[in-house]
Amino acid sequence: MGPVTNLAGETVSLHDQAGQVLATTTTGVDGSYQFSDLPAGAYTFTLWTPSGYANATPALVSATVPLGGLSGPGFGLSTSSISGVVFADANNDDI
Protein backbone atom coordinates (compact mmCIF):
# COMPACT_ATOMS: atom_id res chain seq x y z
CA MET A 1 0.00 0.00 0.00
CA GLY A 2 1.37 3.39 -0.96
CA PRO A 3 1.27 6.62 1.00
CA VAL A 4 -2.09 7.56 2.49
CA THR A 5 -3.39 11.11 2.91
CA ASN A 6 -6.48 11.47 5.07
CA LEU A 7 -9.08 13.66 3.37
CA ALA A 8 -11.08 16.30 5.24
CA GLY A 9 -14.47 17.61 4.15
CA GLU A 10 -15.66 14.48 2.33
CA THR A 11 -19.33 13.49 2.63
CA VAL A 12 -20.43 10.19 4.17
CA SER A 13 -24.09 9.21 4.48
CA LEU A 14 -25.76 6.69 6.77
CA HIS A 15 -28.74 4.72 5.44
CA ASP A 16 -31.19 2.32 7.06
CA GLN A 17 -32.06 -1.09 5.59
CA ALA A 18 -34.78 0.49 3.43
CA GLY A 19 -32.21 2.83 1.86
CA GLN A 20 -33.47 5.98 3.57
CA VAL A 21 -30.79 8.51 4.48
CA LEU A 22 -30.68 8.77 8.27
CA ALA A 23 -27.78 11.20 8.56
CA THR A 24 -24.98 12.80 6.58
CA THR A 25 -21.66 14.05 7.91
CA THR A 26 -18.32 15.31 6.61
CA THR A 27 -14.91 13.95 7.46
CA GLY A 28 -12.74 15.81 9.94
CA VAL A 29 -9.21 17.10 9.37
CA ASP A 30 -7.90 13.59 10.06
CA GLY A 31 -10.31 12.00 7.55
CA SER A 32 -12.48 10.48 10.29
CA TYR A 33 -16.27 10.47 10.46
CA GLN A 34 -18.75 9.48 13.16
CA PHE A 35 -22.45 8.84 13.54
CA SER A 36 -23.50 8.88 17.20
CA ASP A 37 -26.45 7.56 19.20
CA LEU A 38 -27.31 4.76 16.78
CA PRO A 39 -29.35 1.78 17.88
CA ALA A 40 -27.66 -1.54 17.15
CA GLY A 41 -28.63 -2.80 13.72
CA ALA A 42 -27.82 -3.05 10.03
CA TYR A 43 -26.80 0.09 8.13
CA THR A 44 -25.28 1.12 4.84
CA PHE A 45 -22.57 3.77 4.68
CA THR A 46 -22.01 5.70 1.46
CA LEU A 47 -19.04 7.86 0.49
CA TRP A 48 -19.87 10.56 -2.04
CA THR A 49 -16.87 10.42 -4.35
CA PRO A 50 -15.40 13.91 -4.80
CA SER A 51 -14.50 15.29 -8.20
CA GLY A 52 -10.98 14.35 -9.26
CA TYR A 53 -10.98 11.02 -7.39
CA ALA A 54 -11.94 7.43 -8.12
CA ASN A 55 -12.98 4.83 -5.57
CA ALA A 56 -10.14 2.55 -4.47
CA THR A 57 -12.59 0.69 -2.22
CA PRO A 58 -16.37 0.26 -2.56
CA ALA A 59 -18.23 3.55 -2.06
CA LEU A 60 -21.16 1.69 -0.49
CA VAL A 61 -20.52 -0.54 2.52
CA SER A 62 -23.04 -2.47 4.61
CA ALA A 63 -22.30 -3.16 8.25
CA THR A 64 -24.06 -4.44 11.33
CA VAL A 65 -23.43 -2.11 14.25
CA PRO A 66 -23.35 -4.00 17.58
CA LEU A 67 -24.40 -2.56 20.93
CA GLY A 68 -20.87 -1.39 21.78
CA GLY A 69 -20.42 0.45 18.47
CA LEU A 70 -18.23 -0.18 15.46
CA SER A 71 -15.02 1.34 14.19
CA GLY A 72 -15.14 1.72 10.42
CA PRO A 73 -15.89 1.11 7.69
CA GLY A 74 -13.15 3.02 5.94
CA PHE A 75 -13.21 4.27 2.37
CA GLY A 76 -10.33 4.65 -0.06
CA LEU A 77 -10.03 7.17 -2.86
CA SER A 78 -7.35 7.34 -5.50
CA THR A 79 -6.17 9.40 -8.39
CA SER A 80 -4.66 8.07 -11.58
CA SER A 81 -2.34 9.29 -14.25
CA ILE A 82 -1.75 8.75 -17.92
CA SER A 83 1.32 9.42 -19.97
CA GLY A 84 2.36 9.01 -23.54
CA VAL A 85 4.51 10.42 -26.27
CA VAL A 86 3.68 13.06 -28.84
CA PHE A 87 5.50 12.51 -32.13
CA ALA A 88 5.49 13.67 -35.71
CA ASP A 89 4.35 10.77 -37.92
CA ALA A 90 6.07 11.82 -41.14
CA ASN A 91 4.97 8.72 -43.10
CA ASN A 92 1.51 8.47 -41.46
CA ASP A 93 1.95 4.83 -40.26
CA ASP A 94 1.10 5.41 -36.55
CA ILE A 95 4.52 4.16 -35.36
- As a whole-number percent, the residues of the chain with pLDDT over 70 amount to 82
Query: Dihedral, CA atoms, 19, 36, 32, 67, nearest 10 degrees?
Result: -80
Q: Which residue has the higher pLDDT, 50 or 4?
A: 50
* pLDDT surpasses 60 at 83: no
pLDDT in the model for residue 56: 84
pLDDT in the model for residue 88: 73
Distance CA 56, CA 54 (A): 6
Which residues fall within 8 angstroms of residue 9, CB to CB, at 6 or more apart? 26, 27
pLDDT in tens, 43-71: 999 999 888 888 888 888 888 888 877 77
State residue 51 phi and psi, 5-degree precision: -60, 140
Categorize the per-residue pLDDT at 89 as very low, low, confident or very high, splitting at 50, 70 and 90: confident
The pTM assigned to this predicted structure is 0.72
The yes/no answer on whether domain 11-78 falls in CATH 2.60.40.10 is yes
